[in-house]
Structure 1
């Protein structure tokens, strides 16, 4: 219920589920999301109108949620700005630094608190609501406001008392319990390990068709995909520069105002990390288009083709390839970074993958194998989208 309840957003108009919806494989189907101020769901979502229209696109693609509850997960967000760490004495190295509250049981719970206080995702703009205003003062000032909103709804208050042994009355509920509840949901709801490939691993050699079997051999062999997409979740949780086509507002820093995204470097301030992004899991990847940290490619074939020949794919990419809901007032910024020749040269030069020059048949076989990573019950989740939420707000 909390996952789909817009009560967690500053203006009560967007939920976690808006951008990570069951009907869309846990994502939103867009290259760059339409966050706070938008209207509708998925590819049909619009950028809003009048004073409520969006001020900026969400600068990165909405990541999938599959298997993020696994104990091995140690880093989250495209740039890894949330990591398990003792640096600040609260269990995590995060943008909240020492102000992240104690008691967040998993990294998934720690992640859950950040979209709520992100201006263009859920919080809204300063002066629009008390949450956005509090964030403007200091990041941790907003979480108590959100927690009070939730616990003062009688139905939620009763549910928290029933669910948590240490909660005897609703007044005790904080953002920590809210985040732990959301993480418990996400960590179980989005588990998926029943793909044809899993059947193959269990000994059923007929689980993969001929193309998928050829793709499997390529993936773990000549193509070298498993060097980065390793382990049962098909990610080593490392960071690499792929040289994807650049567009969008960028994830800018206060001292770096041009609309670019420097990736991991934005979290570490280490020049060696420039333009590197977290290796995503490939579980159910066929359900989570578009692909890349900015959703540059609409299909798996395009993404595999980019890995095969990044330079050629980058040169062939067209602005029309981006899935961006129309927002004329933002059009001047959507692709402006592409006119910066020096920045484009820097991004093109930062490349951690070797061109493979795969044949058309090999590309097709790899795509077939990636489809074999789709769980048979992936679209039949245990709980699914609720029909209603305790706040009474509409459910996307």
Structure 2
């Protein structure tokens, strides 16, 4: 029997640093063109996500399903290749790998505690893997940095990934309000000119790690007190840990084995291609490991508050819990029945050609299906709905009442989404 999650299972974060992180999370000062924040794609009103299959990043306008692709020279050039990952419980001590493909993980291979896209250029001093991950969206062209020649951040990233971080840190620390907050919250900071990207990331990590900590769902109450779930959810729980074999991957206290599995989701969007990929595709973990055995494998998501984080899958191909459950039970059949209108993709005529181009590549489809690592499970419709009921029982009672929430204003004076 699983054990309930306890507060001590989470990393300790300084609340004053978390309050700085709250402001930075929603402050567009951290983006190249000052037009997008972390909160744009991970918003409180949308369960820490954006409600889209693939996000509309730098250059877009609006929020969530109403976000548009922008206009003129600012119009997006590419969709964000993967679904905005959920933020729930990322401060848990057991987490040692992040991103859908695991391209950030604890390791001393580069002498700085992490194996990351920045390799040996990643600075030291991060308070958690959660803080380390916060610096990467800032340097991603289509997420927050913008395009080369548009701003100094994008230009610096084009030279080398770490060249942008000092510029961003200076943007923040010269704002008097931020300077004062950092001096007050960090013992080793005596003046604002000492603030670096590490302190900024540690503040963001403190905010994310505390703001989205939540484990008071009916299922958590069941684990702690054996208070029965409602009948449908209880039947679903038994299926989840039994015949349906969901717990084969969604195991442990976080309901994720923190490993990588190929489940054959339909491909949409540009994919996270490698420089030498001949076609639009996303090979998942193999893109990081260069191991053929990792082809099309993606990190097992954690499931608490999963009902709040639609759409589902590493590329958001399924808009409902029922859809993603049915896919897990029979990936090949569900892939054949999947339709393009299930994807939540804001209209973008100038890049629409590649949205479903991989869906027409029979060889790529065959490669993806050959890699599927889960066996079909035959369940009737009632059992599927019971599984969905159990997944809904993973929603925290206080999930939509967060400690800090979205700020009304930020020290830069820029607009808040």
Identify whether the pair has TM-score above 0.5, normalized to the shorter chain.
Answer: yes
SS of the equivalent of 2:225 reads coil
Structure 1 residue 364 corresponds to structure 2 residue 357: no
Which residue of the other structure, out of 321, 333, 348, is the alignment partner of 1:327?
348
Q: Could you tell me which residue of structure 2 aligns to residue 302 of structure 1? A: 323
CA–CA distance in 2 between the matches of 1:2 and 1:298?
A: 30
Q: Deviations over 1:333-371 (max 9, x none)?
A: 111111211111101111011100211011000000000
- Partner in structure 2 of residue 274 of structure 1: 295
Distance 2:181 2:390 in 1: 43
1:116 to 113, 138, 142: 138
Q: 2 CA distance for matches of 1:35 and 1:248?
A: 14
The one of 289, 294, 298 aligned to 2:310: 289
Q: Partner of 2:195 in structure 1?
A: 173
Deviation at 1:205, TM superposition (A): 2.6
Q: CA deviation at 1:204?
A: 3.8
Distance 2:311 2:171 in 1: 34
DSSP 3-state at the match of 1:83: strand
> How far apart are the structure 2 equivalents of 1:325 and 1:340?
23
Structure 2 partner of 1:46: 68
Aligned length: 395
Q: CA deviation at 1:113?
A: 0.1
**Partner residue in 2 for 1:383:** 404
Looking at structure 1, the residues matched to 227 and 216 of structure 2 have their Cα atoms a distance apart, in angstroms, of 15
Bigger mean CA deviation after superposition, 8-17 or 197-206: 197-206
Q: Distance in 1 between matches of 2:363 and 2:89?
A: 39
Cα offset for 1:286? Answer: 0.2
Q: Select 2:365's aligned residue among 338, 341, 344.
A: 344
The 1-side partners of 2:385 and 2:50 are apart by 25
Select which of 25, 28, 38 maps to 1:16: 38
For 1:210-262, what per-residue CA distance to the aligned partner results, in whole angstroms no more than 9, with x for missing partners? Answer: 00000000111111111111112110100000000111101011111421000
2:256 is matched with which residue: 226, 231, 235? 235
* Alpha-carbon spacing, 1:257–1:116, altered in 2? closer, same or farther (3 Å): farther
Q: Deviations over 1:306-356 (max 9, x none)?
A: 011111110010111100000000111111111211111101111011100
Question: Which secondary structure state, in structure 1, belongs to the residue aligned with residue 73 of structure 2?
Answer: helix
Please name the residue that 2:48 is paired with.
26
Rounded to whole Å, the distance in 1 between the matches of 2:379 and 2:77 is 41
Corresponding position of 1:200: 222
| Counterpart Cα distance in 2 of 1:220 and 1:93 | 33
1:180-221 deviations in Å (ceiling 9; x for gaps): 000000000000110000111122433x10000000001111
2:145 and 2:40 map into 1 onto residues whose CA distance is: 14
Q: For 1:308 and 1:95, how far apart are their aligned partners in 2?
A: 34
In 2, Cα distance between equivalents of 1:258 and 1:119: 20
Match of 1:86 in 2: 108
Aligned to 1:75: 97
Q: Distance in 1 between matches of 2:236 and 2:106?
A: 34
**Structure 2 Cα separation of the partners of residues 70 and 33 of structure 1:** 26
* Structure 2 unaligned blocks of 5 or more: 1-22
Show structure 1 runs of 5+ residues with no match. Answer: none
SS of structure 1 residue aligned to 2:172: helix
Return the alpha-carbon distance in structure 2 between the equivalents of residues 365 and 373 of structure 1: 13
Give the Cα–Cα distance (whole angstroms) in 1 for the partners of residues 376 and 145 of structure 2: 41
Q: Which residue of 2 aligns with 1:373?
A: 394
